[in-house]
Amino acid sequence: MSETDISHRFIINDSGVRGQWTLLDASYQTVLAKHDYPLEVQSVLGEMMAAAILLSSTLKFEGSMIIQARGEGVVSLLTVECTHDHKLRAIARWNGDTQDMDFRAMLGQATLAITITPLQGERYQGIVPLDGDTLSECLEHYFQQSEQLSTQIQLFHGNNRAGGLLVQVLPTHSGIKIDPQQQREEWERITTLARTLTAEELLNLDCATVLHRLFHEETVELFPAEAVIFECSCSRQRTADALIQIGRPELEEIIAEQGKIEVTCQYCNELYRFDSVDVAMLFTNSATDGDGESKTIN
């Protein structure tokens, strides 16, 4: 397996601390190729993609997780969706010049929402204000406030790559027992070591080498790598289902005016076309002929 577009889980034995490392290359570049993003937007979107992998790997669930920042600045939206098996898609919306702007300046007054949608069970969402200077600080605040777990997150981007390192105190239900005082001392020592990580190291070295450089005096258990890929969940069928919710009369009116209906996925730019025959077929096996309320399409 390539040492890019992967994620590794690890545990620092006898410390009560776990971690996650990820490095994105092709998956990140695929997202950038879909839209003409300014460099500053590319950077923060890459960091958010890496963060999504790190965060989703700390959860035991099957389904999807969405990290979304909504702001009142030049950048109004950053969204990354990640599945439990590390399939990613991402998008940003901006309007204006982002040159030389940092994370906070681009978003302005903003909130960060993390939504977890399991295949089985109820959806969960946590929302915190974006009151840190970096995305890492905001996510650390989220874990402290919502999960009560001490967490350190470092995110990097450069040379069309993005990556990150997360270290986190193990939850109390993990089964690993450690003296609270000892855990506090271990946490302080490990996070001090982790802070010495540089962007050059994370973006250019494999996980084992990075962990050895940081924690060479520790016993680190490194788990097998898991692949990360770009994959959009849009499809012609999902688009058709969304059109049905609009309602047959409105769709037929669009056909009469334009001759066809075209829907472009905002994530991957895939174009789906429907003509009058397609629209008629949508409702052949559907009882939904009236106006629908939702007009949101992938």
| One domain for residues 222 and 244 | no
Reported as a single tens digit per residue, the pLDDT across 255-276 is: 999 999 999 998 988 999 999 9
The two structure tokens encoding residue 165: 């390192």
| One domain for residues 175 and 54 | yes
| One domain for residues 113 and 210 | yes
Mean pLDDT of the chain: 89
Q: Report the CATH number that the domain containing residue 58 is assigned in CATH.
A: 3.55.30.10
Residues of the chain with pLDDT under 50: 288-298
pTM beyond cutoff 0.75: yes
Total of domains in the chain: 2
| One domain for residues 217 and 248 | no
Q: Report the CATH number that the domain containing residue 260 is assigned in CATH.
A: 3.90.1280.10
Domain range for 119: 6-230
Query: Pick from 230, 251, 266: which residue ends a domain?
Result: 230
Question: Using CA atoms, how far apart are residues 224 and 12, in angstroms rounded to an integer?
Answer: 15
| One domain for residues 86 and 118 | yes
Instruction: For CA atoms 188, 144, 211, 165, give the dihedral sign.
Output: negative
Reported as a single tens digit per residue, the pLDDT across 46-73 is: 999 999 999 998 888 889 999 999 999 9
Half-sphere exposure of 220 (CA within 13 A, CB side): 24
| One domain for residues 193 and 104 | yes
